[in-house]
Structure formats: C-alpha cells, structure tokens
Chains A and B, each alone.
Chain A
C-alpha cells in the first residue's frame, strides 16, 4: 500500500474506532549525501523512505508512526493508539484551536532537479571546492546532501494538503593551523530548490577569503582586554543570536512547559506579550513563506496556512510561535508553526526562517561611529541556557575597531550576556541581510529540522567583551 492509501485507511479506521480527532503526516522521500575530507570521499549514502505518522485524540492523545504500510499493521497500530489514548487517566486532554479547513497542492519547482545530476556530478562539486581551497586551508571537510519529499497532511476535519519540496544542503568545516595555534570554522547553506542554488552560495570564494582571514588572525591576532566596548556583529552572528535568544524563547510550547524536561522552558511568560525587552530598532520575524528558503512551507504540519510572524516588534515581544494546541491553551489562533522532521515524529512548535529585519544603515556606517570596539564577523563556539537567557558567542574571525576603522584581528573575543541586555544594547541595524542554514534540534525523540537564520549586521553599545 502506498502512503496515500495507508493514510486514508488510518483515518477511516481511527474514526470508526471512536477517535474525536485524527491527523496524519505521510511522506515519500529520496535523499543522498556525500562527505569529503582533504580530497578523500568519506561516505556516500542514498536512501528512500515512505511511511505515515498518525495522531489521534480519544479522551487523551496518542501517536504512532510506521513504515510497515500493510492493512494489518496499520489496523493493529490504530487499535493500540486508541486504547493508549483512552488509558491516560491524568492526561492533559488538551484541545486544538479552531482553524480553517484547506484542500491544497503546492510544489517547489527546481531548475536543476536533485535527481538530474548523477552522484559523480554531485561529488565533482565537492572536488571543485577541494581543488580551489586546498592550497589555503589545512583541514577541509565538505558535505553535500539533497532530498525530495512528497508530503501529505490529512485531518479528520477535512484538511488535505499535498506538497513536493526539493532541498539542497551543504556545509564546510575548515581548520587553519599555524604552529601550535589553530582556528576552526563551520558554516552551512541550504535551500528549498534544485541544484541551481549551489552556484549562488559561491562557497569557493567564501572559504578562500575566510581561510586567509583566519590565518592572519592566528599570525597577527591580539587578545581582547576584558572591558566594556561597542560591538558590531555581522549577519552570520546575527542569525545565531536571533534563533537562540528570540526564536526559541517565543515558542509557545516552551512558554507553557511542554518541553521542560529537555529542550527547556523560557524566560518569557504568557503575560509578557508586548513587554519591551530590546531597543526600538529591533524587529525579528519568523517566516516560512520565503521562497527557496531552507525552512520553507506554505501550510504547516497541522494543515494551518503559513504566514510571517513578527516575534519582536520595535523591541517588544509581539507574538509567540504556536501550533493548534498551544494556540487553544492561550486562546488565540494558530500561526502555522507546527512542524515534524518526518512522518515518523509528532508535529511540535518550531521556527522556520528566523531573522532580524534590516535597518537603514550600511555596515560601514555602524563601524564608523565606534571609537573603541570589536567587529565579530563569524563565530564557532556558542551556547545558551535552557531558559534562553544566558548566552555566549565566541568569535572566529574578528577585528578591533579603533576610531571608526577596522584594526588588528582579535583572537576569539567572547560575548557572554543575557537576552534583555543584548537586545537593549542594540542601537543601529544595517541593511546587508544574509541567511544561513541550520538544523534546529528540539523535541523528544530529537527532531532536527531545516531552518534559515540570519539578518543584517547590527551594533550593540557598551557591552562586556573578554
């Protein structure tokens, strides 16, 4: 039985068995991945998968997923799910927000389809990176993957959404070694598109430039004297900041405690909507509808129409990310933020493409107005606590700013700061938006999901740097 027939059967059986509500995510996916280190192919993988994930409500909630798409297997799992759902005596028995029923099909059109290039041609893309960069970079790991996924979303209210989305993803890890000193950097790019996007990433030039800068840093770099300084961060750093300290704490399931055991809770409470926590020029959005983005979708995995969500508006907390369950609990409509990594997992509240909106300045103008500061172009180490309050970013490529001009390279400057202090320090935002790809981790079992994060350069006044 194919995934579509299996889905139809599961929904029919669950309703017949007394389910109050049923929804299904069913996928058929093909993917390939290749990795190379210093010119040697580390691995080539290729896989196909097909299966369904079914969520049922009958007093309580139950979920199952399977790739065994036989009538017998599905019937058995539906029957068991209904029994488990009824068995939960102390359960949450949460409701879903009322949402519009949709029947839609959409697809991302690839100019160079993921199956149009042979494995050899794909590996040649990595080989060309190797050829161009091997003279400048001591350690070179290049990774490339692609996928094409058909997804069907069905629910017992009548929603039926079918999508076909191809994706291409690549990352590099480079190591620069100068005597006993090393500098390492990881960066990834991704898009919902075909291979036409690969060229646009221009990885060869990026890696070469980066390698030169990191080597110069090792040769000439100075340690920062721990002190209060102005700091300008570039788009790569902006991306990780907004993802970690704005996107995550505004996920409503964290706010309401559902992720308390592992991914954590949030310093943000439900009554903090509209609270001013940042500078008035801080505007941060999450938008799954950006064309070709890595976190692209037009309907979320509960069948709710996707839209741009303004998470922070003029420095105020403006909107949480919701699925139907959290929306119902807080008395609002879902804003289409339910996602599951694959059919195998339940949908939970997730980011898609999270970014700071651009301001009016050029990056140079941000730097021009700094007497004594640091410019952080890229980072390697970072982390943030489980309430999304206490965070650290360590620069990979960074420079001192003296009287409005970039000076000597700075070795691994550390920004360790709380979320409100960070956003309150922002006084100017540039207009040089860039997006980077990532795989955001959340949930139990862990669900890594494709996202973009990015934005323009921005400036923070008088923050502690060491």
Chain B
C-alpha cells in the first residue's frame, strides 16, 4: 500500500486528476498432458500495477512494474506527459468512496498451489479415463493465487486474495471408424473441489457414447446444451449487456431496455458475488463493491451494465461493472429452472444433446446471428430417448431467438470455464426449440 500511495502522490503532483491504482501479484502453474502422459509443468510469476489516470476528459490505462521509488517517479512523469497529448474522451468520473466490502471468506485455499498433489491428480485422472475406455487423454490442470490491492484518490481502499483451480480433460477413444471424444472442465477454489476423478469418468463416458455415429439430415432440431456447450453463447449475451458494446454497435440489446428479448422462463444476471466461485470479486476496477445485476428478468431486458462514468452519462447508477475506461460483464448467470436432463430428453421428439461446442462466430453482432460447431460426442434424441450419435454438424442460431426458444432449464446451475470463454459463467443444462442444424452437403 505504501508503494501505491507514493505513486498516487507522484501522479497527482504532476497534474493527474482522477487516479485508480491496482497492484496485482499472481503466481500460477499449469500441468499439460496429452496422449495420456504429462508433457510439461509451467509456472508463471508476475507482478504489476495497473494505472488509470485522467486529466479533464482525457484518460489513459497503462501498467507499470514497481521497482523502486525513482523509477515510479519517472513513470509518473511519462504517464502524465502521454495523457496530456491525448484528445478528450467521453469520460465523466470515477466512484467516490469509502466503501464497505463483504467478507472474503472462501475465496482462497492454500491447497490450490500444491503442485505435487496436482501432478498426482493428473496421473490419477489419466488412469481413470484409460480404465473407463479412453484410448488417449489430453488436458490441463491449473492453479493460481492472486493478491490485489486497489486505491483511488476518491477515497477508495480495497484488497483481496483469491485462489483458483481449473481442470480441462478430454478423453479420446480411437476405434475402427475414427475417433470419438468427451470433454469436461471443472473450476474451483482448491484442488479437492475439482472432482477430477468424476470429471475424468464423465468425459470417458461421453467419449464412448460417440463411437457409433450416423449422419442426420439437415433441418430443425431441439437442442439440449450442456453448460460447457453453451458457455460461449451465454458469455456473449453477458458481453452484449455492457453499455459499451451497445454504444459501439456490437450488441443485440440496442434499444431493448424494457422490451421482451427472451422466453419468460429466462432470467439472466451478471453476478460476481458468490465467493465460492472463482472469478467472483469483492470490488470492481474502481473499487465499488460488486453486486448482482439482473440483466434479463423473466424474459424482459432490464439493465445495461455500467461503470461510474457511463452511469453518469445515462443518468443512472453504476452497476459495479468497471472495467476502466469501459464497463465489462463479470460472471454471466443463466438462472435455474425446475426441469432435469431426464425431462428434457423425455420431452424431445427430434433433438440433439450437445456436450461441447467451439468456434462460435457472429455474422451480425447487432442482430445476434451466429453459428457454432458442436465437438465431442453429439447424441441423437428420438421420441424421448437417446438413440445413437452423430458428427460433423453445425448449429445456426440468433441470440434473441435462442433465448426466446429456451423451453426447459435444469434445477442446478454450474460454474463453467473453458478455452472458448474468457470468464467463469454460471449455467444450467437447458433445452432450446427449433435450432437450424446444417452440415457440408
């Protein structure tokens, strides 16, 4: 804190007006494995100070490495000099503190950084997958600890420490007709809660379900999405709620405030407040205590995500989604329903169960038109029962249409992370009606 206070004074002396400084110290590791063997153990050790500074309506975002007071003094001069050369932006201010923060209970566990234990877990997960029918196993196991201290010259002081663990395991089954696969991920605050053995077994089971495949005709199908499969789609919905994306015409929620955008069964929040879920945070990038924000309530679009500056512009209150200089979504939560996977399958005449997707890409961000590619086992549902698997297809949809066609949601919401997403989101299994499925002719 002493370094941050010194740096703050140096910036103020040189003419910076609003200032937010966040010192971040991270230590993480990753164990990578493929072809059922560990390949490499990696460690990352980084520290930096993130700097947001303003002068009038000019803003700059930068980061510095705190070495000594002399270099911080020099950097303060450089930053203010750079700032003075910028044109005005649409900046309107940061939050005034002080703030009270909720308890940081459950956010950190020493066990997350136990690398020997993590290596053993990888070896066990690989063995489990192979014993359950996998031919080859690939993935990563990661752990991290992050210390953050934030101050602003608007009377804000905040700090937090958090740990995170992540397992991604893909089980591949080679057979005479090719290769099938199953993929599971898991995110937690410690190694134990990753449930690596369960995830390994589940990935192997999915892989074996896709051994026998048959071609299906193109056309409309009801789709049941596993959380990993819908994560990039739900994350895009969260992104589209940021007022920044609305202003920059990269959102399907332009002029949607108060309008129906989804089935009434659909409620979506931005919610980084559950300490047990990695990615949660006590405060945003201005130091404002984070909170739950209902973006869509029973199908109606309720709220854009703001920081203090954009909130002032639109004469509303910050939703604690700084992001500086632009507001950002944190953890997008699709609320639970009252259904189950069994009911979803039972009520489907012609459908598919999608266990994973990748490469979600948009033709129009304004309209929300996109397609995504299912990967790993894709299960065919016919007359209420799983009846085989297929491969080589593509789902073509639109964000508003998808939300309007959500028919059933599972009772359980799962925190989900993956390679295709930048954040940890919270999603139940859900079923969507009438999705266009295509494939190369």
Instruction: Give the B-binding residues of A (Cβ under 8 A).
Output: 37-38, 40-51, 55, 60-68, 73, 77, 80-81, 84-85, 87-92, 94, 118-120, 123, 127, 138-139, 141, 173, 175, 177, 182-184, 256-265, 344, 346, 380-386, 389-390, 392, 394, 412, 416-418, 421, 444-446, 464
Contacts and interface: CB of A to CB of B under 8 A. Distances in A.
B433 interface: no
Nearest to B247: A37
Contacts of B42: 62-65, 346
Given A47-B63, A394-B363, A416-B440, A444 B140 contact: yes
Contact of A380 (B60, B86, B248, B364): B364
B63 A257 contact: no
Interface string B243-256: 01001111000000
A381 B250 contact: no
B44 A344 contact: yes
Given A41-B90, A43-B325, A67-B47, 20 more contacts: A41-B88, A42-B326, A46-B82, A60-B40, A64-B43, A65-B46, A67-B45, A88-B38, A90-B37, A94-B39, A118-B85, A119-B86, A258-B138, A344-B46, A380-B362, A383-B371, A384-B359, A386-B373, A386-B375, A444-B32
B325 A42 contact: yes
A46 B59 CA distance: 11
Interface stretch (B102-110, B164-172, B292-300, B342-350): B164-172
Given A184-B364, A261-B138, A68 B86 contact: no
A235 to B, nearest CB: 20
Q: Which of A48, A261, A264 has the most CB of B within 10 A?
A: A261
Given A50-B65, A80-B43, A87-B119, A261 B139 contact: yes
A390 B366 contact: no
Interface string B76-97: 0001001001111110000000
21 contacts: A37-B249, A40-B90, A46-B60, A47-B63, A63-B40, A64-B44, A66-B44, A66-B45, A67-B47, A67-B48, A184-B366, A256-B35, A260-B35, A264-B375, A344-B44, A380-B364, A381-B371, A383-B361, A385-B392, A390-B440, A418-B440
A43 B326 contact: yes
B359 to A, nearest CB: 4
B219 interface: no
Nearest to A124: B87
B394 interface: yes
Nearest to B363: A381
Contacts of B126: 90
A153 B438 CA distance: 47
A139 B249 contact: yes
B62 interface: yes
Nearest to A84: B41
A139 B44 CA distance: 40
B441 interface: yes
A416 B183 CA distance: 25
A92 B38 contact: yes
Contacts of B361: 381-383
A255 to B, nearest CB: 12
Given A84-B43, A390-B373, A416-B438, A261 B38 contact: no
B61 interface: yes
Nearest to B249: A139
Most chain B beta-carbon contacts within 10 A, residue among A40, A175, A381: A381
A387 to B, nearest CB: 9
A182 B65 CA distance: 44
A68 B45 contact: yes
B367 interface: yes
A42 B419 CA distance: 27
B60 to A, nearest CB: 5
A196 to B, nearest CB: 21
Interface in B24-44: 30, 32, 34-44
A123 B62 contact: no
B253 to A, nearest CB: 14
Interface string B209-252: 00000000000000000000000000000000000100111100
Given A260-B170, A444-B419, A44 B86 contact: yes
B392 A261 contact: no
Contacts of B60: 44-46
A151 B440 CA distance: 44
Contacts of B363: 184, 380-381, 394, 412
A381 B372 CA distance: 10
B364 A65 contact: no
Contacts of A182: 364, 366-367
A45 B363 CA distance: 29
Contact of A46 (B62, B244, B394): B62
Given A73-B45, A421-B440, A260 B138 contact: yes
Interface string B142-165: 000000000000000000000000
B375 A385 contact: yes
Given A92-B39, A118-B85, A416-B438, A184 B47 contact: no
A92 B126 CA distance: 14
A392 B326 contact: no
B441 A464 contact: yes
A81 B139 contact: no
Nearest to B61: A45
Task: Rank and list the top 6 A-B pairs by shortest CB-CB distance, nearest first.
Answer: A383-B359, A260-B138, A139-B249, A464-B441, A381-B363, A84-B41
B136 A261 contact: no
Given A77-B45, A421-B440, A346 B61 contact: no
B123 interface: yes
A260 B136 contact: yes
B262 to A, nearest CB: 20
A44 B82 CA distance: 10
Given A260-B136, A390-B439, A445-B30, A64 B45 contact: yes
Interface in B356-379: 358-367, 369-373, 375
Nearest to B46: A67
A38 B369 CA distance: 23
